[in-house]
Amino acid sequence: MTITHENTAFRTSAIDPALLTRLRDTDDAGRAPELSTDEEGGAPLRCCLRHAAPGDRIALLSYAPLRHWAAETGANPGPYVELGPVFVHADADGCPGPPSGGGYPLAMHGTERVFRAYSADGRILGGRLVRLGHDEAAAGAADAELAAMFTDPEVALVHVRALEFGCFLFAARRAG
């Protein structure tokens, strides 16, 4: 998904399906994921950037988002590499994939999010606390915040995280 907002192009991305194939067997901590059924629904799924429906089979696994981005780009983030918990569909067949249409995925909105910016070498440049609602106007506001961060030419990547737990939700990258 690529979105252009006020001449700043970026794209949001869920966890790569090819990577998820491996992570569903052995996660980034070297362990098997914890499998369960989300009886009530609502777990934020990083494979499709939606919330689980009641009864969905999900996996809780350890994920190091900056490590995988660094492997793709050649960056060396050093001590900034973090490992944290994420929920994904337990089976690839049960995942519809991320929504099309571009921009900040509405399902990932929460009242407060942290947008953390990284340089091309993987160093933290700063962050923003962003307060969002759960409607289309909030999606536009989130896109505007991301676009504003990418006006800094040093920003190559932004991680969007939940404030309450600090969990990685998804990444936004400079397009092009």
**What tens digit of pLDDT does each residue of 130-161 get?**
888 766 666 678 888 999 999 999 999 999 99
Report the percent of the chain where pLDDT is more than 90.
64
Nearest Cα neighbor of 63 from 173, 147, 167, 176 is 167
Q: What predicted TM-score, i.e. pTM, was given to this entire model? A: 0.90
pLDDT exceeds 70 at position 5: no
Domain count, the chain: 1
Q: Which two tokens stand for residue 146?
A: 């991301």
What rounded mean pLDDT belongs to the chain? 88
Residue 52 has what pLDDT?
95
Average pLDDT over residues 22-46: 96
Domain range for residue 89? Answer: 2-174
Q: Measure the CA–CA gap between 102 and 4, rounded to whole angstroms.
A: 9
> End-to-end distance of the chain based on CA atoms, in angstroms?
12
